[in-house]
Amino acid sequence: MNNATLELSLVIPAYNEQDLIASTLDTLVQFLRSNEPNFEILVVDDGSKDSTPEIVRLYSLGYSRVRLLEQPVNLGKGRAIQRGVQESRGKFVLFMDADLPYNLDAMAAILAALRGEYDLAIGSRHLEGSEVRDIPPIRYIAGQVFSLLVGMLMFPGIHDTQCGFKGFRIEPARQIFKRLTIPKFGFDVEVLYIARKLKYSILPVPVKMIGNRYDSRINVLRDSGRMFLDLFAIRRNDRNGKYG
């Protein structure tokens, strides 16, 4: 593969995904071959305790556009995506969850924005054309409350910081993620905070959330509390000059 023509790096953080990772890769490869043929897929295994890395390694032996990156232990989704961004070779880098909860058709709008005037294009479940189905009510309500708090305290005008479908031009991505300090679910807010701090342009695009894993990795009460504390950590980091 000629890196000079590589357009898209797609980063997939994975932790104990042995039951779905092969089908996820099949879906992505089929979609990208038809829609964005100059691509690579980076699966960042975040210290899985099952056979996820072995499955991805075997897949990559048969298809060189899939690359496996292994974290030594479970460091968190933010750290996994940070590693993927650091090792991406495309002009644009996108990340999404391993269970593919969002319709892939939104990728076209994200890439169109990045090829145009925007540095970041982020999925949003709160725009005209968005759709959300099959989400447990308590998780949906908790997400709405958190998004409201973030909008009030951090991001007027951005109504969905937590959507796991985001795209970047590669240089802004590297500048943002090298400053990342939050390793787990609160990293999305920090990414957007840093992007605004560095004056990068951001476009929300509508996404369709078409389903979600039944064994969600998010504990609503525990992780919502941690994410709320992360907001204060981001403010403290900013005061201490860590995002300069």
Domain boundaries, the chain: 3-239
Return the minimum-mean-pLDDT range out of 28-32, 220-224, 234-238.
220-224
Residues ≥6 apart with Cβ < 8 Å to 137: none
pLDDT at 160: 87
pLDDT at 5: 79
Whether pTM exceeds 0.75 = yes
- Give strand pairing partners of 192: none
Of 3.10.28.10, 3.90.550.10, 3.30.110.40, 3.30.9.10, which CATH number belongs to 3-239?
Answer: 3.90.550.10
pLDDT digits (tens, 9 = 90+) for 152-200: 777 777 888 889 999 999 999 999 999 999 998 789 999 999 999 999 9
> CA separation (Å) from 117 to 120, 121, 200, 202?
9, 10, 10, 9
Q: What is the mean pLDDT of the chain?
A: 90
CA atoms of 157 and 171, how far apart (whole Å):
24
pLDDT at 1: 55
pLDDT digits (tens, 9 = 90+) for 113-143: 999 999 999 999 889 999 988 776 666 676 6
